[in-house]
Amino acid sequence: MSEPHNDDKPLTFGQMLHSVLAAAFGVQSSKNRARDFSKGKPSQFILLGLLFTTVFVLALFGLVKLVLHLAGL
């Protein structure tokens, strides 16, 4: 027997992270976007988006510093 599907479950952290990463790179599916709007909390997506952006900018900054250091500049 199959277990009944509960559509009232909130999004997991993994689902939210996947959605933020997919949206950041512009490859979010319409199915996942609809799920996010119906089940997700905007504050959680905003916080996760800001965290992702901060980590991304810091990683780029560190990569540029490393390349410039290795180049001797």
Structural domain contains residue 62: yes
- Flag whether 6 is in a domain: no
* Alpha carbons 36 and 30: distance in angstroms, whole number: 10
Confidence of residue 72 (pLDDT cuts 50, 70, 90): confident
Residue-level pLDDT at 62:
98
pLDDT (tens digit, 9 = 90+) per residue, 6-42? 567 889 999 999 999 999 999 999 999 999 999 989 9
Provide the pLDDT for residue 71. Answer: 93
Asked if residue 2 is part of any domain, the answer here is no
Q: Is residue 41 part of a domain?
A: yes
Distance between CA atoms of residues 49 and 12, nearest Å: 15
Rounded mean pLDDT, 62-72: 95
Does 3 fall in a domain? no
Residue 33: other Cβ atoms inside 10 A? 14
Q: Is residue 57 part of a domain?
A: yes
Distance CA 50, CA 32 (A): 20
Whole-model pTM: value is 0.75
Whether 54 is covered by a domain: the verdict is yes
Looking at the domain assignment, is residue 44 inside a domain?
Answer: yes
Q: How many other CB atoms are there within 10 angstroms of residue 11's CB atom?
A: 19
Count of domains for the chain: 1
Using an 8 Å Cβ cutoff, are 32 and 64 in contact? no
**Which range of residues forms the domain containing residue 26?**
13-71
